[in-house]
Every structure is written in C-alpha cells, then in structure tokens.
Amino acid sequence: MTAAPLLQTDLPGKVHEGKVRELYDLPDDRLLMVATDRISAYDVVMPNGVPHKGEVLTRLSAHWFNRTASVVPNHMVAVLEDGGAAAYGAPDDPSLVGRSMVVRKAEPILVECVVRGYLVGSGWAEYQRSGSVCGIELPEGLQEAQQLTDPLFTPTTKADEGHDMPMTYEEVEEFVGPDTANVLKLRSLALYGYAAGVARERGVIIADTKFEFGLLDGEITLIDEALTPDSSRFWPADQYQSGRDQPSFDKQYVRDWLTGAGWNREPPAPELPPEVVAASSERYTEAYRLLTGEPLPGAS
C-alpha cells in the first residue's frame, strides 16, 4: 500500500520553508534539506500532495550530483538513509529517509539559470509575441516544442514570492558581475548538454531545465536540486513530434489538469482528484526509473 504523502515536517532548527523543501540547521555548517511531497503549479502549492515525489526529487538530484561532480562542484554531502542520521546530527525519523539530503551551506546567487533545448512553455509564448527569448533573437517560423539549433541560456530572477521574471544576459552581468555571469552560463550549458545526452540514450528528452548556484568556499557551486521532474521538462523520445503539446514525465500533467479545470491560477488552488495524484506519482517514479535505470526504492 502506498504511504500517504508527506506534506509537512516539524523538526527543531527549521531555517527555511519553500514551496516543496524545508531546511534545517545541522552541525558542521551543514543543512538538512527535506523534500516533501507537496506539489506547486503557477507558484501556488496544491492542497494535497503526490506520493513518492519528495524521494524522487532527492534521489534523482543525488544521481546527477554524483555524475557531474567532477565537472561542476555541488553542495551534496549525502542522502539520508536508514540508520545514517546520527552521523550528521540529524533527527532519526523514518519519514525523512530517502527524501532528505545533507548539504553544505552556501550563499545563494539569486539568479535562476534556465537552459532551453526546445521551444516550449514561457519561451514559446515569448517567441510568439516577440520572435525572441530573453532578448535572444530566433529565426522566424519555429514551431512549438521544436528543438533549438543550440541550447539557450535564458535566466530569470529568483523571487521568494510571486513569479520569476526573465532576464537578459546583460542584466545578469549587471546583477552579479561579468565573471560570475559567465561562469553561471557556461556551467549551466555544460550540465544541460551532458544530462541531455545521457537522458536521450535512455529514451528521455530533457526539453529544458533550471539550475541554482551558490558560493561555497569561494567557488560557484551547484545547489538545491538538479534535473528533476520539478525543475525540468522530461518527454518520452519515442513520442516526440514538434508542433504540438508533448506527453511528459513531469508536473506539466498537473498544470494541464488545472487549466482544463478552469482554475484562474490564484490561491487557493483546487484539490487534485485521486486519479490525477496517482498519475502524477507514476510519472515521477517512471522518470526516476528511466533516467537512473533503477526503480525508486520503496515504490510499488
């Protein structure tokens, strides 16, 4: 029987609560990053969660952190497993196993580093209006979901509340300085290029994704999550066809249901029906299986 989704944690030392993750102080200048099963859409958290979602986010991030650490440094120390909490001064709570990551503290760089390999979502909407994305002019006549000749670095602001806003590369340079902007761009494109190639071999298209970086020991370091169904669009490669909406292994399914239900994207959000919750959970766990080659531990 599938366990009920975990929507909230209440442990000592909480320092931050986001839409999905909750952060707790640990000894040795570390944090415990707990991914709940909450799901958000259009910057609003849904009233009910998706079973296994938090574990998919944590374990899939760890998978990519491990695979890319030699190229781009990241903040991961370890995923919290059974019997491992005491070694890090973390609470010994079974509900945290698999969904929690011990990380090193970093100073966040407040830019969302979005990379687009395909013209979809807000990028497609902007292209239809202006023929460009984040100030980058694109050829005429492109179709929805068309693969771009080269992946684009299309950063946005990182807002604690409300919507992130697109930034031109020049605006990023003004905000963080030319050297930092260049590193953010190069590391984002390198991570996307590597992951997109690996995923394609496994039958998955990574249409776009976003990364977050922070300063750790003076180094620009990958933080938060990496290449998960929350931060990326994952499409089955064998069903891809440009010029239309794509089936996906991410939360686009929830967005589409909300749009069809007539929700105006203002809180409160409607409760997701059981069949939407179940289908979403299946998509998240299938993304994990396809990208790692292994079933999600504990998922039925």
Q: How far is 248 from 236, CA to CA, in rounded Å?
A: 7
Task: Give 160's pLDDT tier (boundaries 50, 70, 90).
Answer: low
Q: Which residues contact 73 (CB under 8 A, 6 or more apart)?
A: 216, 219, 221, 222
Q: What percent of the chain has pLDDT over 90?
A: 90
Tokens of 207: 């249409």
Per-residue pLDDT band at 300 (split at 50, 70, 90): low
pLDDT digits (tens, 9 = 90+) for 113-158: 999 999 999 999 999 999 999 989 999 999 999 999 999 999 999 8
What DSSP letter does each residue of 180-197 carry, written as one string? Answer: HHHHHHHHHHHHHHHHHH
Angle of CA points 194, 197, 202, to nearest 5°: 130
Give the pLDDT confidence score for residue 1 in this predicted structure: 45
**pTM exceeds cut of 0.85:** yes
Task: Report CA-CA distances (Å) from 253 to 58, 139, 250, 256, 277.
Answer: 20, 29, 7, 5, 10
* Cβ neighbour number for residue 69 with a 10 Å cutoff: 12
Q: Per DSSP, which regions of the chain are E strands?
A: 14-17, 21-26, 30-35, 40-41, 44-45, 76-79, 100-104, 107-108, 111-118, 132-133, 136-137, 147-153, 156-157, 204-216, 219-223, 232-236
For the stretch 176-211, pLDDT in tens is 999 999 999 999 999 999 999 999 999 999 999 999
- Angle formed by the axes of helices 274-292 and 252-260, to 10°? 160
DSSP, residue by residue, 6-37: ------TTEEEE-SSEEEEEETTTEEEEEE-S
Q: Residue holding tokens 């290449």?
A: 227
Of 147, 219, 220, 160, the residue nearest 188 (C-alpha) = 220
Query: Is residue 96 scored above 70 in pLDDT?
Result: yes
Rounded CA-CA distance 254/230 in Å is: 11
pLDDT higher than 90, residue 262: yes
Q: Does the pLDDT of residue 225 top 80, yes or no? A: yes
Average pLDDT of span 250-260: 92
CB 64 within 8 A of CB 75: no
Average pLDDT value over all residues in the chain: 95
pLDDT, one tens digit per residue, over 209-218 is: 999 999 999 9
pLDDT confidence of residue 298: 75
Nearest to 190 by CA among 31, 42, 70, 54: 70
Q: How many CB atoms lie within 10 A of CB 260?
A: 8
Q: Are strands 44-45 and 40-41 parallel, antiparallel or unpaired?
A: antiparallel
Contact of 299 with 258, CB cutoff 8 Å? no
Q: So what's the pLDDT on residue 162?
A: 58
pLDDT digits (tens, 9 = 90+) for 51-81: 999 999 999 999 999 999 998 999 999 999 9
Overall average pLDDT of the 251-276 stretch: 94
Residues 6+ away with beta carbon under 8 Å from 262: none
What angle is formed at CA 246 by the lines to CA 243 and CA 251, rounded to 5 degrees?
140
∠79-85-90 over CA atoms, to 5°? 100
